[in-house]
A = this chain, B = another copy of it.
Amino acid sequence: MSDSVALDPVDLEILRILQNDARTTYRDLASAVGVAPSTCLDRVARLRRSGVILGHALRLDPSRLGRRLEALLSVQVRPHRRELIGPFVERVRKLPESRALFHLTGPDDYLVHVAVADAADLQRLVLDEFTSVKEVARVETRLIFQQWSCGPLLPPGATHRPRPGAASA
């Protein structure tokens, strides 16, 4: 089901470039990796079909949308049984403040990444949507001072070796 896919260096280079800018034209892509534009199209279509590429997402600035404060909520759901955690997960996913949700090992079962307007909004969210719910045993709130995105995601051991003539911007 989720087997790895065999990727040659051309595929890797395509993925690297598209992770920087997913709207790179096939023409530019082609000249960067050294194949024809139509071949690039084939490659990308295959990467989409094989499930390596899940989709294209917009990167938005939460603070420009009036969400100036982000936080991580560690949540204990007790008792930790399927009939409780299923609805919990769905409810949290539907909150407009939620950005991501993780089910983790360790004493805190869930981690929720939220983006809110301000501290008062965060307080309201925690009180109304988490601590007031009976299956939520504990919530720990940590504010995010700063966050960084990291380098492109590539297969383990993939030596990232741009070709001599390729523009790496």
Contact = CB atoms under 8 A, between A and B. Distances in A.
B67 A153 contact: yes
B154 A96 contact: yes
Interface in A12-62: 15, 18-19, 21-23, 50-62
Q: Interface residue tally of chain A, by bracket?
A: 35 or more
Contact of A22 (B58, B89, B103, B146): B58
A115 interface: yes
Interface in A71-128: 72, 89, 92-96, 98-106, 108, 111, 115-117, 121
A151 B98 contact: yes
A132 interface: no
B102 A72 contact: yes
A19 B60 contact: yes
A93 B54 contact: no
A143 interface: yes
A103 B19 contact: no
B67 A155 contact: yes
B23 A50 contact: no
Interface string A145-156: 111111101111
Nearest to A112: B150
Nearest to A22: B56
B61 A52 contact: yes
Contacts of A60: 15, 19, 52-54, 153
Contacts of A162: none
A53 to B, nearest CB: 6
